[in-house]
Amino acid sequence: MIERESTDIYRQRVHRVMDYISANLDEPLPLEKLARLAHFSPFHFHRIFRALVGEPVHAFIKRLRLERAVFAMEHGPKENLTTIALKVGFASSSDFSKAFKQAFGFSPSSYSRAAILEKSKIRQELAANAGYRLGAVPSRANPDRFRVRICERPALRIGYVRVIGGFGPETILAAYRKIIDWGVSKRIVPGAKLIGMSADDPDVTPMAKYRFDWCLALPDNLTVDRGLSPATVSGGQFAELRCRGDIQKVDRAWRYLFYSWLPRSGFEPGDGPAMEVFRTYPTSGETWLEFDLDCCIPVRPLRKR
């Protein structure tokens, strides 16, 4: 599939979702439903949407609801704020008031056309933060010279330690030490493949509920115990990008993979979370300065629909 055809399909699917959201602001708009409409995996839909639109899907929905409310307040029949809030999809008038004040700097009860004009700077910042691109594909710039390859990975039995909420270094380090110590006690560390994985995204999932798993691949004859949980990572086709560098470079690698490479690739994300597959174990110091890992996402050929 040529690059232009690939990007056109991505645009069409995202535009379909944007049109649906605009026409159904008064209804619940769960991420899973929007992902199905776009024919993208729920694991990765929000990243694709952000890549092409320039803001997370939940921020896009909130912004459109606020804009619809402002239009109703200015041009519609005289209605109380609770009625307007519910009509545009907010769960309550208090949710509406909080979102309105965050966006415009004053409460909806203080709204007037003059107030909007006086707060024009806030309004401009709201629009600038949105980065609305109408489906433009992000730049192909690749100053780090990342190279993506497509390969097959086998299914893996894993044992994992899960961190829920609180993404501070000490929390992550404690979980890492726990799984490494367990692996040493079972004589599979050093040597066992180490994987970092999450089914959540910090742009979507509240940090208090965010999940991150440290995983070790297990030999067939080993079962988990002592606080680890068992699971299987599905095999199949993956897009992989090797990254060697600090945490900022790892972040750039993920952004390049999802935002620049994927929409042009002729592939779409498959089911299952993204993974960081470590080529070497991070150093045991309090601060990790250098990583050597593969950023991996499950992929399948892009379908024309």
Superfamily designation of domain 3-130 = Homeodomain-like (1.10.10.60)
pLDDT at site 131: 42
pLDDT at site 136: 58
The answer, as to whether pTM is greater than 0.85, is: no
Please give the chain's pLDDT, 305 residues, in tens.
Answer: 678 889 889 988 999 999 999 889 989 999 999 999 999 988 899 889 988 888 889 989 998 898 888 878 876 667 888 898 888 999 888 888 898 888 888 888 877 766 655 654 445 444 444 444 445 566 778 999 999 999 999 999 999 998 877 666 778 888 999 999 999 999 999 999 999 998 776 666 667 777 889 999 999 989 888 778 999 999 999 999 999 999 899 999 999 999 899 999 999 999 888 999 999 998 655 557 789 999 999 999 998 77
pLDDT at site 241: 97
Which of 300, 246, 305 is closest to 44 using CA atoms?
300
pLDDT at site 125: 47
The radius of gyration of the chain's CA atoms, rounded to the nearest angstrom, is: 22
Give the CATH number of domain 148-301; options: 3.40.710.10, 3.20.80.10, 3.20.20.70, 3.30.450.40: 3.20.80.10
Residues in Cβ contact with 194 at an 8 Å cutoff, skipping those fewer than 6 apart? 214, 215, 216, 277, 278, 281
pLDDT at site 130: 45
Residue at 113: amino acid letter: R
Q: How far apart are CA 65 and CA 100, in angstroms?
A: 10
Q: Write down the residue that tokens 């067939």 correspond to.
A: 220
Give the residue extent of every domain in the chain: 3-130, 148-301
Could you read off the pLDDT of 94-104 as tens digits, one per residue? 888 898 888 88
Q: Write down the residue that tokens 């993956």 correspond to.
A: 238
pLDDT at site 124: 47
